[in-house]
Amino acid sequence: MPPRFLQLADVAEILNISSAQAYALVRSGDLPAIKVGGRGQWRVESEQLEGYIQRMYAATREFVVAHPLGGGTGEDDDADEG
């Protein structure tokens, strides 16, 4: 059974981001977390992390629909060119 709560280092590893980026997600409120213990260490509930991932998938889908490939936005227009 996976742990209910994850340390920020675990969150960073799962998302393949730095610990500083994981901390920023928590501090901004984008990724709900709690502070526990005498030193107030951050913990992220596994379900909250999964919910964040699903929200990011939805946001990415919306972005792709709003900015179709070849739409002339200038972003990554030459990404497929070698």
Give the pLDDT confidence score for residue 72 in this predicted structure.
Answer: 55
**CA distances, 24 to each of 40, 67, 69, 80 (Å):** 16, 27, 30, 32
* Whole-number pLDDT of residue 82: 41
What average pLDDT does range 12-32 have in this prediction? 98
Closest to 51 in 3D by CA, of 35, 27, 32: 32
Question: What pLDDT was estimated at residue 70?
Answer: 66
Q: What is the pTM of this model?
A: 0.78
Residues contacting 55, CB < 8 A, separation 6+: none
Residue 68: per-residue pLDDT: 86
Q: What are the tens digits of pLDDT across the range 31-61?
A: 999 999 999 999 999 999 999 999 999 999 9
* Domains of the chain listed by start with CATH number: 5-66 (1.10.1660.10)
